[in-house]
Chain A
Amino acid sequence: MELPEDLKYTKEHEWVRVDGDVCEIGVTDFAQSELGDIVFVELPEVGATLTADETFGVAESVKTVSDLYSPVSGEVTGINDELMDSPELVNKSPYDDGWMIQVEMSDQSELGNLMSAGEYKKLIGKG
């Protein structure tokens, strides 16, 4: 189970990669393995406004449909179009090619509510 140290994590199994006031968001290796083969990903439009802890999209696997929760508030500045045709990228490369959205954060203090790799590892019972 891969858990990069430089990312922040949510209890809903999203990860955040921070770069200044912009961040990239996706779902964790644990999430993709629990969901199983992902067959469809629904993402917001570029320009949409997100609120922390509210849903920004949906990941559908052969087993289940799962809401995606935004770890931060802000405006969507980019989405991973590749996932429309190749949702399996989330399974194959959850932290890189399987990224989902890019957000310009409106309140960076929200990052303080997120977990470190170590804390997340404990949450999923692998620590």
Chain B
Amino acid sequence: MKSQLQQGHSFIEKDIFSQGSPGRSGIDIPTGGIPSVDPLSILGQDSVRGALEGFPELTEPEVIRHYTRLSQWNYGVDTNLYPLGSCTMKHNPRVNEAVARFPGFANLSPFAPDSSAQGSLRVMSDLAKWLCEITGLDFATLQPAAGAHGEFTGLLMIRAALKQRGNARGKVLLPDSSHGTNPASATLCGYTTQTIKSGPDGKIDLEELGGAMDETVAALMLTNPNTLGIFESQIEEISRIVHEKGGFVYCDGANLNALMGKAKFGDMGVDVCHLNLHKSFSTPHGGGGPGAGPVCVTKELAPFLPTPVVTCNDGKYSLDSDRPQSIGRIHGFTGNFGVLLRAAAYILSMGANGLKEAAEAAVINANYIKARLEKEYHLPYREPCLHEVVLSDKLQNKYDVTTLDIAKGLIDRGFHPPTIYFPLIVKGAMLIEPTETESLETLDEFCEAMIDIAKTAEKDPASLKNAPVTSPRGRLDEATAARNPQLRCTLC
């Protein structure tokens, strides 16, 4: 029986509902001499659930083995290179974890009065100051739970500022290379969106922008470097065009890792930006959270910051909610504090020079991959890249091999695929971001895997169509999964 479920040490794990046996349990709760009562007679029918059909009943070791085996199927930055472009999957230094577990932080109740939470409030105050220093902006809120939440918060502040001037305006401009969350946030904020076409060099086309920018536009949302990994070198002119018509410049900070310590958004004319602490500042990321997406703003927008704001008077920290122009609360308590703490630990342990060196290494690593792969793969933009590089499947298309096949081929060669089919303006895009985490050896192994795939595409394309063959599951039928999702758990 067991042999069918196992290939060497690779377990082929059944779902938990197919395991166990009725009556098994992890622990036996002693009665403690207390007489049992019928819950139905005390709580009534509305509050008592009937028997659950098919509820799994397992022993503790069975449960532990089940989840440990599943965890062995995981691929993360702790197992190998995780080159997801625009995601900055960098190493989370374990000192961050040690700091987050300090009892003074970990055991603090969110209901504690300010006087009992001075240490935590100081961490937030200091972190906000450091993020302002890094971005060149004046004030910050640490509350947003992730990047898109930060975008929404930033746009709400822009809307409030414009409304106070007399007209909230109706439109947000976005380059066609923008992250999908940008138009989504603008729409959620009540704005319509208009796309600005990128020029042949992958940068915002100033003429297109000038033509679209008028007094109905609330903001331009851009990412710098953009999602092609290219620095918007005309950013000052871009900001001037937007400001001249009374609009705001919103910078998506997803790609800050390329610029940290090197250039400041504030100096580029940016009015608002969000930062992804779970990307650029090393806090864990990829399991769906928690994250943190602080927003930094200019003085002009500061009155609209969400409440509460951490303030400091005579060395005493407190949470200030008495801010009449504030957009209000956007998160419970003070945001994802554990994430803020890890980011603060990262900044302190790296220091100003360390952060700068990390940005340099991230850019060098991406350019190394670009240089090693530019013969085997099509480079849609030949501009120097910063922290990420875009390749396409154009050269492989003639063998009927696509980006999806290349991505699946990487799985068989031991690597997680990069971001694929994004940015949308590159057909068959592969967006590769190695981060500063990786050693030369790992980068070489990845490049050799990519070169091997390019050779296989030429000689034996059929084998790539079948990839992956070494993973617990082979090529999944993504279309059927999306059209007819079959959910296993039927208990709810």
> A residues touching B (Cβ–Cβ < 8 Å)?
34, 36-37, 39-40, 62-65, 87-88
Residue B479 CB within 8 A of the other chain: yes
Residue B351 CB within 8 A of the other chain: no
Q: A63-B421, A64-B424 are in contact. Are A88 and B180 (CB under 8 A)?
A: no
Return the contact of B479 from the options A34, A39, A65 (Cβ within 8 A): A39
> B residues touching A (Cβ–Cβ < 8 Å)?
180, 404, 420-422, 424, 427, 478-479, 482-483
Q: How far is the CA of A40 from the CA of B483 in the complex (A)?
A: 7
The reply to whether B424 and A39 contact each other, CB–CB distance below 8 Å, is no
Q: How far is the CA of A65 from the CA of B483 in the complex (A)?
A: 14
Chain A hits for B479, CB < 8 A: 36-37, 39, 62, 88
Q: How far is the CA of A34 from the CA of B404 in the complex (A)?
A: 13
Chain B hits for A36, CB < 8 A: 479
Of residues A34, A63, A65, which shows the largest number of chain B Cβ atoms within 10 Å of its Cβ? Answer: A63
> Which A-B residue pairs are the 3 nearest by beta carbons?
A37-B479, A39-B482, A62-B478
The reply to whether A64 and B421 contact each other, CB–CB distance below 8 Å, is yes
The reply to whether A62 and B482 contact each other, CB–CB distance below 8 Å, is yes
Return the contact of A88 from the options B421, B427, B483 (Cβ within 8 A): B483
Chain B hits for A64, CB < 8 A: 421-422, 424
* Chain A interface mostly: loop
Chain A hits for B424, CB < 8 A: 64
Chain B hits for A88, CB < 8 A: 479, 483
**Residue of chain B at shortest CB distance from A88:** B483
Q: List 22 A-B contacts (CB under 8 A).
A: A34-B427, A36-B479, A37-B478, A37-B479, A37-B482, A39-B479, A39-B482, A39-B483, A40-B482, A40-B483, A62-B478, A62-B479, A62-B482, A63-B404, A63-B420, A63-B421, A64-B421, A64-B422, A64-B424, A65-B180, A87-B483, A88-B479
Chain A hits for B482, CB < 8 A: 37, 39-40, 62
Chain A hits for B180, CB < 8 A: 65
* Chain B interface mostly: mixed
A53 to chain B, nearest CB (A): 11
Q: How far is the CA of A39 from the CA of B480 in the complex (A)?
A: 8
Q: How far is the CA of A113 from the CA of B256 in the complex (A)?
A: 43
Chain B hits for A65, CB < 8 A: 180
B147 to chain A, nearest CB (A): 18
Chain A hits for B427, CB < 8 A: 34
Q: How far is the CA of A42 from the CA of B427 in the complex (A)?
A: 23
**Residue of chain A at shortest CB distance from B402:** A36
Chain A hits for B483, CB < 8 A: 39-40, 87-88
A115 to chain B, nearest CB (A): 19
With contacts A62-B478, A63-B421, A88-B483 known, what are 12 further pairs, Cβ within 8 A? A36-B479, A37-B478, A37-B479, A37-B482, A39-B483, A40-B482, A62-B482, A63-B420, A64-B422, A65-B180, A87-B483, A88-B479
Q: How far is the CA of A64 from the CA of B421 in the complex (A)?
A: 7
Of residues B421, B422, B482, which shows the largest number of chain A Cβ atoms within 10 Å of its Cβ? Answer: B482
Q: How far is the CA of A88 from the CA of B482 in the complex (A)?
A: 11
Chain B hits for A34, CB < 8 A: 427
B134 to chain A, nearest CB (A): 33
A7 to chain B, nearest CB (A): 24
B479 to chain A, nearest CB (A): 3
Q: How far is the CA of A65 from the CA of B424 in the complex (A)?
A: 9
**Residue of chain B at shortest CB distance from A34:** B427
Q: How far is the CA of A119 from the CA of B478 in the complex (A)?
A: 34
Of residues B421, B422, B427, B479, which shows the largest number of chain A Cβ atoms within 10 Å of its Cβ? Answer: B479
Q: How far is the CA of A94 from the CA of B424 in the complex (A)?
A: 22
Q: How far is the CA of A87 from the CA of B482 in the complex (A)?
A: 11
**Residue of chain B at shortest CB distance from A38:** B479
**Residue of chain A at shortest CB distance from B477:** A37
B393 to chain A, nearest CB (A): 12
**Residue of chain B at shortest CB distance from A91:** B479
**Residue of chain A at shortest CB distance from B427:** A34
Q: How far is the CA of A73 from the CA of B187 in the complex (A)?
A: 23
**Residue of chain A at shortest CB distance from B485:** A39
Of residues A34, A39, A65, which shows the largest number of chain B Cβ atoms within 10 Å of its Cβ? Answer: A39
Chain A hits for B420, CB < 8 A: 63
A83 to chain B, nearest CB (A): 11
B428 to chain A, nearest CB (A): 9
A52 to chain B, nearest CB (A): 15
**Residue of chain A at shortest CB distance from B479:** A37
Chain A hits for B404, CB < 8 A: 63
Q: How far is the CA of A64 from the CA of B478 in the complex (A)?
A: 12
**Residue of chain B at shortest CB distance from A65:** B180
Q: How far is the CA of A39 from the CA of B404 in the complex (A)?
A: 17
Chain B hits for A63, CB < 8 A: 404, 420-421
Chain A hits for B422, CB < 8 A: 64
Q: How far is the CA of A34 from the CA of B421 in the complex (A)?
A: 11
Q: How far is the CA of A60 from the CA of B399 in the complex (A)?
A: 26
**Residue of chain A at shortest CB distance from B422:** A64
**Residue of chain B at shortest CB distance from A40:** B482
Q: How far is the CA of A87 from the CA of B479 in the complex (A)?
A: 10
Q: How far is the CA of A37 from the CA of B180 in the complex (A)?
A: 20
A114 to chain B, nearest CB (A): 20
B52 to chain A, nearest CB (A): 31
Q: How far is the CA of A19 from the CA of B180 in the complex (A)?
A: 37
**Residue of chain B at shortest CB distance from A66:** B424
Of residues A34, A37, A87, A88, which shows the largest number of chain B Cβ atoms within 10 Å of its Cβ? Answer: A37
